[in-house]
Amino acid sequence: MVGDSVNTSGCHESRLLIVGLGLIGGSLAAALRVAGFQGQIAACDPDEQEIARGIEMGLIDSGGTQLAELVDDATMVVLAVPVLAMESVMANLAEVLPNASADVVITDVGSTKATIRACAQRVFGQVPTNMVLGHPIAGSEKSGVAAANPRLYVDHKVILTPEPNVDRSALQRVRCLWEACGADVLEMDVERHDQVLARTSHLPHLLAFSLVDTLARQDERLDIFRYAAGGFRDFTRIAGSDPVMWRDIFIANKEAVLASLDDFEAGLSRLRHAVEAGDSDALIATFDRASHARHYFDSLLNKTSYQAEYHMQPQGKVTYRVQPGGQAQGRLRVPGDKSMSHRSIMLGALAEGVTEVKGFLEGEDSLATLQAFREMGVAIEGPHQGKVTIHGVGMHGLKAPAGPLYVGNSGTAMRLFSGLLAGQAFDSELTGDESLTKRPMGRVADPLRLMGATIDTAEGGRPPLKIHGGAKLKGIDYDMPMASAQVKSCLLLAGLYAEGETRVREPAPTRDHTERMLNGFGYAVSREGDTCWLQGGGKLTAGPIDVPSDISSATFFLVAAAITPGSDITLEHVGINPTRIGVINILTLMGADLALENQREVGGEPVADIRIRYVPLKGIDIPVDQVPLAIDEFPALFIAAANAEGVTRLRGAEELRVKESDRLQAMADGLAVLGVQHTTVEDGIDIVGNGDAQKASYGGGRVDSLGDHRIAMAFAIASLRASDDIIIEDCANVATSFPDFVELATRIGMGVSVEGAHE
């Protein structure tokens, strides 16, 4: 506040001179005052009244109309004049400050940077090292010092565009100036700044001016505006901005503005054609992409979560603290199956016709798949409460995406996409988050290469994957070295585009959702024993899809009930595809009281309500043939083992080492923290359980989920039988498969609190 004796602003200039006391310069002074800036603030402006008003408002200490009288003792000069006035002001400055010591820092606030840099070069011979060009991305349709707003820059970006030879301390001082005003300071080069601003600021202003002017000309008496509703007001607010300032900007940033205007005109003309032709798919595709982009933008502004944020920002760290004890009671419906959700979008997009999906998992993994298809031009409505409508584009209707397709944490998306994209006419690139970047992709790239695809991977067969389009694929007969539904599905999807037959033999049965769903879309997939095959060159026909609840998510509550005395839980509408029921078989072998009720078939997949009640569990040797059928369920099953009487032994599960984390190691480390005895081997683990229902089975402590959703949820349910709080780190990725896990866990009686989540 003005009058505070301590400078709390972080900006230590002793005398700041603002040249041009309008909205931007005035708001800078106001913000510094509020921040506790203790230096002198002077202003120079050709309009004496503006200076007088600035003094009266308490924003500046002194001022005048002549630069020469004001520059003495200034430690920093901020040029806040319109862009086209910049050169004469700089020339004036060069005269009155001929031997400007490097201690005087000069900066500006102009909206275009190339022209201002050119002014500086003309006036000074080169951009002086003590000059730091900058641009606060903030403003208002109001102008003049009277509109000064001390909060104008709070949480707004200020872009600095320093020259390579800039004096580093000058740069730091300008940074401090803006940070004192609450701004977020970043740096970029001049050219990039001008292109970005042409698109995000200059173009929208041009459109707003043009729209209002066009309507106003059509209606000289301006009667039409009486009927204008909120849409018009929202769209055109900025047409009330300062005309002189904007004229200057368009003259100064001509090239970049024209380039962005070309892009805009092309887009507008596409929309015009769509309206003319009544092309509802094209309209939906454009509006849907725009609407999602706008929500994404909102989420960036409000700092809330949106899966697309993965493109830009590291996820915040989320920690669960789970109280010991609690019950496990009630009826629950867990979210839709992740594997089927991915596939429903993929096949729906390639089908002819409209696919309506119910029960779609609105988790980050399947949303990443959905987003990727939008980026390839597919119109997708939703998701709204699990409902998604996909306007299929046919086998050859995908369009080249503008950039790499980002699939977040999802191995399934990356591997299935690699097959599907290998058959396209365009080049593509698949990228993912830190965990996915470590996972093996050679298992898909190698057989795809045998089919004739050209795929580049990073070292060791890791992502990103670069897939060259236009390859002529040929069917192969492939003997999979590991039991992987992802590899099988990848090859079947590539096989759709291949000449002849694609056959895949699996060493053990793996989930068969791809085969079932392809059949559901009218594409024949045959199977005999351990081999399935299809012929390339067919087509898919859209149809409704009902995605059941995910047995992998249900598992956490099955185990919660299986380990907690007095529990009785029913999980509704769970998919019980025979290739997924390893968890039911294993828990039953351990002695669990588990019943399948109301068994039925929904859209080609078997479904049931699963009721589970507590009875003491016993340790077992897990049959090796159950491993692929329970591959995602082991983190939770290890917690069941820790609560069973005797030793549970798992072998043949080396695949667990290449999931979202090394799950054998991650679980072993967490079990060690809780004090559960265990021994790991390369392909498995022995866990010594504590089956005493009268006592806690283990202690509490802090465990690291390593960003693996299933490790996080497994240790959360472990707390039901712990003696102390379990604190689980790095849980944000629970949202990849089970966004409402905490809510459901709380509903059955667990005490979970979440720290560090986005508000």
Where in the sequence numbering do the catalytic residues fall?
632
Q: Of the listed pieces 48-56, 150-158, 483-491, 515-523, which binds ligand S3P according to CB under 6 A?
A: 483-491
Task: Identify the residue among 485, 518, 540, 560 touching ligand S3P (CB under 6 A).
Answer: 485
Residue with smaller CB distance to ligand S3P, 412 or 697: 412
Answer yes or no: is 484 a known binding residue: yes
What is the rounded CA–CA span in Å between residue 264 and residue 270? 10
> Per-residue contact track with ligand S3P, 572 to 611, x per CB under 6 A?
----------------------------------------
Q: 411: annotated binding-site residue? A: yes
For residue 366, state whether it binds ligand S3P (rule: CB under 6 A): no
Query: What's the min distance (Å) between Cβ of 673 and ligand S3P?
Result: 25
Q: Is 226 marked as binding a ligand?
A: no
Q: How far is the CB of 489 from ligand S3P (least distance, A)?
A: 6
Task: State the Cα–Cα distance between residues 198 and 447, nearest whole angstrom.
Answer: 46
Among 339, 369, 577, 643, binds ligand S3P (CB under 6 A): 339
Q: Binding residue for ligand S3P (CB under 6 A) from 59, 631, 640, 744? A: 631
Nearby residues of 277 by Cβ (< 8 Å), 6 or more positions away: none
Q: Among candidates 622, 668, 619, 620, which has minimal Cα distance to 644?
A: 619
- 520, 545 contact by CB (below 8 A): yes
The residue from 511, 663, 678, 721 that contacts ligand S3P (CB under 6 A) is 511
Establish if 484 lies at the interface with ligand S3P (CB under 6 A).
Answer: yes
655 binds ligand S3P (CB under 6 A): yes
- Cα distance between residue 283 and residue 657, in whole Å: 46
CB of 511 to ligand S3P, least distance (A): 6
Number of chain residues interacting with ligand S3P (CB under 6 A): 11
User: Which of 228, 214, 157 minimizes the C-alpha distance to 186?
Assistant: 157
Alpha helices in 403-496, H assignment, sequence order: 411-422, 434-437, 442-450, 485-496
Member of 241, 315, 344, 412 binding ligand S3P (CB under 6 A): 412
Taking the C-alpha atoms of 170, 246, 299 and 317 in order, what is their torsion angle to the nearest 10 degrees?
-10
- Least distance (Å) between residue 415 CB and ligand S3P: 7
Give the burial class of 377: count Cβ atoms within 10 A of its Cβ; 0-12 exposed, 13-18 middle, 19 or more buried: middle
Q: Is 446 in the site for ligand S3P (CB under 6 A)?
A: no
Instruction: Consult the annotation and say whether 522 binds a ligand.
Output: no
Task: List Cα–Cα distances, 589 to 138, 202, 203, 582, in angstroms.
Answer: 65, 68, 66, 10
- Work out which of 632, 662, 708, 729 binds ligand S3P, going by CB under 6 A: 632
Quickly list H helices, 199-314. 203-218, 230-236, 243-252, 254-277, 280-302
Nearer to ligand S3P, 111 or 486 (CB): 486
- Give the list of residues 6+ apart from residue 24 with CB closer than 8 angstroms, or none: 80, 109, 136, 138, 139, 152
Which range touches ligand S3P (CB under 6 A), out of 279-287, 485-493, 605-613, 694-702? 485-493
Strand order in the sheet with 526-528: 477-479, 501-505, 531-535, 526-528
- Residue closer to ligand S3P (CB basis): 424 or 486: 486
Strand-pairing partners, residue 74, are none
- Please, which of residues 671-710 interact with ligand S3P by CB under 6 A? none
Is 632 assigned a ligand-binding role in the annotation?
yes
Other C-beta atoms closer than 10 Å to the C-beta of 265 total 11
Q: Which stretch binds ligand S3P (CB under 6 A): 5-13, 135-143, 484-492, 688-696?
A: 484-492
Other CB atoms within 10 A of residue 230 CB: 7
Site of interaction with ligand S3P (CB under 6 A): 339, 412, 484-486, 489, 510-511, 631-632, 655
